[in-house]
Amino acid sequence: MKTDFTDLDLLGQGTSFIVRRLPDVPQGYISGGVVTSSRRNINSGNGRHRSVSKQLLATRWRGQKEKPRQLLELVINELQIITHRPLKLHENIIKFRGVMWEYDTDLQVWPVLVLEYADFGTLSDFQARPMTLTLETKMNLCLDIGSGLEALHLSGIIHGDVSSVALNILNKGLI
């Protein structure tokens, strides 16, 4: 699967990474550097994975010869966190799907993480939807967010950006 990332829907952007929606891919699909596992049976209901790409922000590294090691360390750090056993098994932590590779204008190869798609987007997106939530649903959202943060903290990780645009909401059948 060759992907021109600029053609994909932009979902969000932070200081170091940009997140875009990937086209749905079949379960167990392995091609062009994308690896998804059918063991993670999270899909769009039609046997196809819904995923996003998390890539280094272009302005952080394209055209710059400096600090490629530090940039790779950002990706490695993310990868270590999302593949840490207690976190990858936790129901309130986004699931890792695989890695794709991107070439820059200097033909350097950069890793792009493939992560689970959040059906409702960020908490900010979710709050902007015209729907009325029950008190129970609101409480469940708070408990899920707290549970995910607790899992990070128990693993010695501080999120560092707990905000409504940094938290993703998945449909777990509660809404």
Residues 167 and 128 in one domain: yes
pLDDT tens digits, 1-38 = 444 666 678 888 877 888 888 887 655 554 444 444 33
Residues 158 and 80 in one domain: no
pLDDT tens digits, 123-135 = 888 888 888 888 9
Residues 126 and 108 in one domain: no
Q: With 60 as the cut, is the pLDDT of residue 102 above it?
A: yes
One-letter amino acid at 119 equals D
The answer to whether 48 and 27 have CB atoms below 8 angstroms apart is yes
Which token pair is 30? 């392995």
Which token pair is 89? 């098994």
Give the DSSP per-residue string, 29-57.
-EETTEE--TTS---SSSSEE-EEEEEE-
Range of 132's domain? 118-175
Residues 97 and 164 in one domain: no
Please calculate the CA angle 130-134-139 and round it to the nearest 5 degrees.
110
Nearest to 113 by CA among 69, 56, 156: 56
User: What is the per-residue pLDDT for 52?
Assistant: 85
Residues 123 and 110 in one domain: no
pLDDT tens digits, 146-162 = 999 999 999 999 988 88
User: What is the per-residue pLDDT for 148?
Assistant: 94
Residues 104 and 130 in one domain: no
Count how many domains the chain has: 2
Residues 153 and 90 in one domain: no
Residues 50 and 83 in one domain: yes
